[in-house]
Amino acid sequence: MTRIDRRFAKLAAEGRAAFVPYVMAGDPDRETSLEIIRGLPAAGADLIEFGLPFTDPMADGPAVQLAGQRALEAGMTLQGTLDLVRALRETDDETPVVIMGYYNPIYSMGVETFLAEAKSAGVDGLIVVDLPPEEDDELCLPAKAAGLNFIRLATPTTDDRRLPKVLSNTSGFVYYVSITGITGAAEATAAAVAPEVARIKSQGGLPVCVGFGIKTPERASEIAKVADGVVVGSAIVERIGAGQSPAEVLAFVKSLADAAHNAKG
């Protein structure tokens, strides 16, 4: 079992949903980013998604695009992202870490080198948004062989014909994108999400985390009632982009985590 598997088993036994914050690695600079990242577990993060900065982030909305630009301008790289994971592991060896991004930087490093470095750094899972199931030989299957979870996205347009393909070789959890479009767009609603979560779980059996369109503690609580996990990204990186201190950002994260954790209580 990976850290991700163990964490979801623990949460299921406790009867509560996971809270999963997304932060762009190196945003707005390495030192500030590391301070925030190291504070996330104490603020209630059950898993952490590290965004991998990339120059052409086609699935990201304005807030996450700007976060990536800030990180790139501050010198963040794929190797630097892995070094941040290593730095987190100096103080936390339990919280699962997922790298979310695009294939190009991984391809440029070399898949074999990347997987060895990621495993050594303490990465537990990958979300690579521009690699469909038809390309599993590129990274998904090698990642699984290296002991990393490969987490796939499902969307409102993933119909029953497509879903089995999406779920094939997926492990750890399924990331359900609650709205069509880019990150940071419309708000997710439990009424729309609940039947989709049930449909995905009935076919795959994996935990389902819901992201996109969750911006407030109230919405996090609502979604946590019907999902195995709640992912919040844009609302967090917007605060980083606005210049809030790490303490302020972490206080907001805690408000989201508390709402998600208490939703099923």
Catalytic residues: 49, 60
Here the tokens at position 73 are 């301008």
The alpha carbon of 128 is separated from its chain's Cα centroid by a whole number of angstroms, namely: 10
Q: Is residue 22 a contact partner of residue 236, using CB atoms and an 8 Å limit?
A: yes
Q: Is residue 44 a contact partner of residue 221, using CB atoms and an 8 Å limit?
A: no
Indicate the burial class of 119 (C-beta count within 10 angstroms; 0-12, 13-18, 19 or more). Answer: middle
Degrees (nearest 5) of the Cα angle 232, 235, 236? 80
Rounded Cα gap, residues 172 and 162, in angstroms: 19
Degrees (nearest 5) of the Cα angle 102, 106, 108? 115
Q: Is 243 left (phi over 0), alpha (psi -120 to 50) or beta?
A: left
Residue 4: in which H helix or E strand, if any? helix 3-14
Residue 196: in which H helix or E strand, if any? helix 190-204
Provide the edge-to-edge strand list for the sheet that holds 125-128. 149-150, 125-128, 97-101, 48-51, 18-24, 229-232, 208-211, 174-177, 153-154
Q: Is 145 helix (H, G, I), strand (E, B) or coil?
A: helix
